[in-house]
Amino acid sequence: MTSRVSRERQRDPEDLSYNPVAQILHWVVVALLVTQFTLAWSMPSIGRDTVPETLINLHLSFGALILLIATVRLTWRIIVPPPPPISGLPKWQLLASKWVHRLLYVLLFVIPLLGWLNASYRGFTVKPFGFAKLPALITSRTTATPGSFSWRWTGEVHVVLAYVLLGIVALHVIAALYHHFILRNRTLERMLPGMRVNP
């Protein structure tokens, strides 16, 4: 691990592409989000007496996996900082890119945590892909004392923020395509495996 990180830090300064680990983690998150939104739109609505079945359990499982991969990705980003941006970009684009990335990271953590909180509130067992059971984050509404604080809102905010995430991802994709096809710089290629991007 240490030697690999050292090699990454000693990479060719003329290469502005993301390192292979960052690229892999990026595209894994993309695949997981596509899967997760497909499950969310396919599974039944969750009501007061809903009993979790296959699609709901898969949604919970992939949510836990996204949380794990997001943690790994953020940790790797801290250990191995991303390459400098393509030269010549205006400051407003660099600032917008920075905040879009920050917001994406925040949502990749907050949305799964809200889903986990809501599952705990509803008394659902969160057991990713049938393996280790995750602990309940809060007391289930079925065992909560009368008049205690309700965590019902977590489900509603979870859904709203999921659509916010979808909008930001769409903006991120549009920006990448704009850089590639309109500005014709190599911003998009920096995240493509096997590509070497020079200043």
- State residue 194's pLDDT score: 83
Nearest Cα to Cα of residue 104 among 41, 176, 45, 19? 176
- Structural contact between residues 69 and 32, judged by C-beta atoms closer than 8 angstroms: yes
Q: Indicate the CATH number for domain 2-9+17-191.
A: 1.20.950
Give CA separation, 60 vs 69, 79, 108, 132, 183, in Å. 14, 29, 14, 13, 40
Measured distance between the N- and C-terminal CA atoms of the chain, rounded to whole angstroms: 28
- State residue 7's pLDDT score: 46
Share the mean pLDDT of the chain: 90
Domain boundaries, the chain: 2-9+17-191
pTM > 0.85: yes or no? yes
Per-residue pLDDT tens digits for 144-185:
666 567 899 999 999 999 999 999 999 999 999 999 999 999
Whether the per-residue pLDDT at 6 is higher than 50: the answer is: no
What whole-number distance in Å separates Cα of residue 121 and Cα of residue 7?
46
